[in-house]
Chain A
Amino acid sequence: NAGVTQTPKFQVLKTGQSMTLQCAQDMNHNSMYWYRQDPGMGLRLIYYSASEGTTDKGEVPNGYNVSRLNKREFSLRLESAAPSQTSVYFCASRGTLNYEQYFGPGTRLTVT
């Protein structure tokens, strides 16, 4: 039972390049979330998926797109990376009965 897994762990991109961050959970959770963490800013919600087949914007969605591929997988895409997207990205999932979210180990992304 791996919980929430994220790939890759580290990535360096040049400005303008694109990439997709992958996230999968094996807890049969309905809801999944993408956050970014920046120094002094806490975690900020980028996009979320309340259930399979639905996605919606969070607090900081500009420059990102998401896909809820199936119940297990929720990917985050940067179409044209910018230095302002240098951050640590966390994926999380949540079951139906409570508010606790379970987080993956994160992806550290640097855009030069």
Chain B
Amino acid sequence: DQQVKQNSPSLSVQEGRISILNCDYTNSMFDYFLWYKKYPAEGPTFLISISSIKDKNEDGRFTVFLNKSAKHLSLHIVPSQPGDSAVYFCAASAGGTSYGKLTFGQGTILTVHP
């Protein structure tokens, strides 16, 4: 049972345009959501997060939107740059006594073309 799903295995975008990566979840106990970026042969690096008490969080070119009723979150990258080409994972935590455990989606490969 995949509790966090990224239904698009890949996304291709032109440099300067917007990249939108999507993520859906099924567990109503999730209350904190994170996006990670991963380059080949490296570990994932934290990008941006959002608590369930918010519906939007911005950090420079990166914005995460949360729609709790739809159990859906998205990551917007504006403008996209070739260096953004990587695998993006969304992750969710149930807080409370979950000890910070994260449940990850399958990942989306983003390619930004010059």
Contacts and interface: CB of A to CB of B under 8 A. Distances in A.
Interface of A: 4, 31, 33, 35, 40-45, 48, 50, 56, 58-59, 90, 92, 94, 98-106
A11 to B, nearest CB: 15
DSSP class of A's interface residues: helix, strand, loop or mixed?
strand
Given A35-B104, A104-B43, 18 more contacts: A40-B9, A42-B89, A43-B44, A48-B99, A48-B101, A50-B99, A50-B100, A90-B44, A99-B32, A99-B95, A100-B34, A101-B46, A101-B100, A103-B36, A105-B41, A105-B43, A106-B42, A106-B43
B102 A31 contact: no
Contacts of B74: none
A90 B91 CA distance: 15
Interface of B: 4, 6, 9, 32, 34, 36, 41-46, 49, 89, 91, 93, 95, 99-107
B43 A103 contact: yes
Contacts of A92: 43
